[in-house]
Structure 1
Amino acid sequence: MNLIELIFIAIGLSMDAFAIAICKGISIGKATIKDAAVVGLFFGGFQAIMPIIGYYVGEGFHGLVESFSYLIAAALLIILGLKMIKDSRGEKDTTKGLDFKNLLVLSVATSIDSLAVGISFSLTNVALFPAVVIIGLVTFIISFIGVKSGSFFGMKFQSGAEIFGGIILILIGLKVLLEGLGTI
């Protein structure tokens, strides 16, 4: 697999992280460079770690991972989307900043597909280290941009943007579920 192919794989894997990074930027409000970097590190880090895990899990568990990973990702995204909508109706906690547990759950939810990619890497003799570095870096950059973009629009539209972000998470979760069920 050449560099261009790896970059395209990384871009494809980072699209869910990008959409959710936009939602994080909306919910944060005035996101700093540090906020965007933290989200980028979480998403990029998990997108890089999961293929490593998948690579070593290998062919033996290939069917098991594929058979239920979409359910986990869909459930996490839908629950977080509903929580985001619910939170948009309450008072804002401006001192809270980024929530570690929330970022952890979102990072896992957006990187489950990377686990399956790691399994495919083990079957196709891909050089693992360069591949995960590229995936992690691309996801970091795209997530960073997503947070800053979401923050810009979130500051303009406040709670309406947070509701919209929650709806996006729910729709992504439903898309993951429907794809996993083979209906789309």
Structure 2
Amino acid sequence: MSPIEIAFGQWMTILLMAFALGLDAFSLGIGIGLKGIRLLDVLKISVVVGLFHIIMPLMGMFTGHYVGSLLGGVAVAAGGGLLALLGLHMIYSSLRGEGARSFDYGTLWGLLVFSLSVSIDSFSVGISFGLFAADLIVTVMVFGLFGSLMSIAGLLLGRRVSGLFGEYGEALGGVILLAFGLKFIL
């Protein structure tokens, strides 16, 4: 193989991995957007999700293969549990009406929990970086860019269609988060 073919193959692999990792942020962004979200919150969430898509693979890489193989499944299950709990809380808040306090993604805690839950799979991808010959900095920067852009796309799409679902938008968003959480757990 020529060096150009190898470089092209590496770039395609990086872009496909970044797209796959960003799909969680996109899908869950739709769920959050259905709840109704301000444009400033879209920007904040997408920036933090992008940062987590950079930090988590680096943490996975530095954690090492041995520890990663022990904790990889636990980390994914923990992320799934967080998503399921957030989804259940959103459904509860929607059905309960004004009497229940909804999970606030505009707070630092809510932002961090959401970003961690959509970036947890990046941790396990980072563990395998030792086997991948691509430039680490370029790879994680592409992951961060895709995570941010796909998060923006999902949040804006959810925000756009939230008017169609009215007061049930938050419940539908909760169902989406719950479904993804259960997918990661099972």
- TM (norm. structure 2) is 0.86
1:80-106 CA-partner distances (Å, limit 9, x unpaired): 00111122132298xx77132112111
- Is the 1:78–1:173 contact (alpha carbons within 8 Å) kept by the matching residues of 2? yes
Aligned-residue Cα RMSD (Å) equals 1.8
Question: Percent of aligned positions with the same letter in both sequences?
Answer: 34
Give the match's secondary structure for 2:97. coil
The answer as to whether partners of 1:81 and 1:165 remain within 8 angstroms in 2 is yes
Partner of residue 84, structure 1: 90
**Distance in 2 (alpha carbons) for counterparts of 1:145 and 1:31:** 14
Q: Is the 8 A contact 1:36 1:145 kept in 2?
A: no
Partner of 1:65: 71
Q: Which residue of 2 aligns with 1:149?
A: 157
Q: CA deviation at 1:70?
A: 2.2
Structure 1: gaps (5+ residues): 179-184
1:49 to 45, 48, 55: 55
Taking the aligned partners of 1:65 and 1:126, their CA distance within structure 2 comes to 24
Runs of 4+ with >4 A deviation? none
Shift of 1:107: 1.0
Offset at 1:158? 2.4
1:31 and 2:38 aligned? yes
- Tell whether the 8 Å contact from 2:10 to 2:134 is kept in structure 1 after alignment: no
More deviation, 38-47/118-127: 118-127
How far residue 126 of structure 1 moved from its aligned partner, in angstroms, is: 3.1
Alignment partner, residue 174 of structure 1: 182
One-letter code aligned to 2:75: S
Which runs of structure 2 are paired with 1:9-24 in the superposition (5 Å)? 9-24=17-32
The count of aligned residue pairs is 174
In structure 1, give the amino acid aligned to 2:27: A
Q: Which moved more, 1:78-87 or 1:156-165?
A: 156-165
Deviations 1:2-25 (A, max 9, x none): 222111101100111111111221
TM-score when normalising by structure 1 = 0.87
After superposition, the Cα gap between the structure-2 partners of 1:170 and 1:3, relative to the gap in structure 1 and judged at 3 Å, is same
Q: Measure, in 2, the Cα distance between the counterparts of 1:112 and 1:126.
A: 21
Asked whether the 8 Å contact 1:31–1:147 carries over to 2, the reply is no
Residue 119 of structure 2 aligns with which residue?
A: 111
Distance 1:112 1:65 in 2: 11
Matching residue of 1:165:
173
